[in-house]
Amino acid sequence: MRVSWPLCHLIAAMTAFCAQNVLAEGEQPIKHHYLLSINLAPAACILHPERRELRQCQEGYSIIVHGLWTEKTKSSPDKVQEICSEKPPELSPVQQRVLEKLMPDEDARNKAWQKYGACMGLSAQDYFRTITAYTNKLKLPETFKEEGSDRLVERDELLAQILKLNAGLTDKGVYLRCQSNQEKTFLTEVRVCYDKLGQFIDCKNFKPNCPETMTLRKVK
């Protein structure tokens, strides 16, 4: 086995993260990318009754951050995501207040850190700082925030709007996820891929599942 080290000094300046890759003889280094998951809170609240007492449901949030994790390649073996820390993240009061705008529920923030952030080699502060930076870089259509009634939206039209708003984002760097109940198929998630420098990049494990037409759940 041989050990390959990335250019940590450059990367650390941007993300405070340096990873070690252990490679088999003749194996090429794996360039890890990050995946940011944005949830559409109104759809999640109706599809998952257990969440309806959360702030994201009670206070009428439209979009929230679910989490950030290292994107797996298509060749990565499927396995159950392990919890990498039993402890909640230690954050300053100022950082907690900033995060409440993106991730309003403390329990959800804790789970994101324990399941994703602690597995990435980042401190809790750097993990959530990275989430904040990536989320602020991403622009989403105002249609996600419009109040009123449920409405049908065209998948390709919505993706075109997202691409238009975000210079450098390609049609392989963002995809939509949907879930259905007995009546409708709701748009529930937007996933966007980044490199370690925080730039948009094509996703290596591209898994859209939304039909051509889907329902956008109304915002309270």
pLDDT digits (tens, 9 = 90+) for 105-151: 999 999 999 999 999 989 999 999 999 999 999 999 999 998 889 99
Q: Which residue has the higher pLDDT, 13 or 51?
A: 51
What topology is assigned to 31-216 in CATH?
A: Ribonuclease Rh; Chain A (3.90.730)
Task: Round to whole Å and give the CA distance between 63 and 154.
Answer: 19
> Any idea which of 16-25, 58-67, 166-175 has the lowest mean pLDDT?
16-25
What is this structure's pTM?
Answer: 0.82
> Any idea which of 40-49, 126-135, 163-172 has the lowest mean pLDDT?
40-49
Q: Is the dihedral of CA 118, 120, 9, 33 positive or negative?
A: negative
Burial label for 45, CB within 10 Å (0-12, 13-18, 19+), is: buried
Confidence of residue 77 (pLDDT cuts 50, 70, 90): very low
Confidence of residue 74 (pLDDT cuts 50, 70, 90): low
Please check whether residue 186 is in contact with residue 47, taking contact to mean a CB–CB distance below 8 angstroms: yes
pLDDT over threshold 70, residue 100: yes
DSSP structure string for 124-160:
HHHHHHHHHHHHHH----GGGG-BSS-EEEEHHHHHH
What's the mean pLDDT when you consider all of the chain? 84
How far is the CA of 63 from the CAs of 38, 40, 104, 150, 179, in angstroms? 7, 5, 10, 15, 16
Q: Hey, where are the domains in the chain?
A: 31-216
The structure tokens listed for 34 are 């990050």
